[in-house]
Amino acid sequence: MAKTLRWTKRAKAELIAILEFWTEHNQSPSYSNELAQKIDDCLALICDNSSIGKKTDDPAIRITYVDHFLIYYEILKHDILIITIFDGRRNPFDLKLK
């Protein structure tokens, strides 16, 4: 059974910032549009099969990736909660999940 996708405010803000950065950096929305589509496709797959992500140290949180962006999510009873989207090239000590 497919689960409903929910986003934290933080994850929404991070996604918007990532897409805006790449649009500005490339002076074109092409890569941002492609990245947004890849993320949508990945999240649709997670909604259908929530256990495909790799387990983390926290048993409630899983991780998957699109290009070099790490997507942390939590499996809830009827929902998938997107916790954060993190650029895997950044310092991992900057990442705070909770």
Q: What is the pLDDT of residues 36-66, one digit of tens each?
A: 999 999 999 999 988 899 999 888 899 999 9
| Helix segments in the chain, DSSP class H | 9-26, 30-48
Instruction: Assess if CATH 3.30.750.24 describes domain 4-89.
Output: no
Q: To 10 degrees, what angle do helices 30-48 and 9-26 make?
A: 150
% of the chain beyond a pLDDT of 70: 90
Model-wide pTM > 0.95: no
Query: What percent of the chain stands above pLDDT 90?
Result: 69
Q: Answer yes or no: is pLDDT of 1 > 70.
A: no
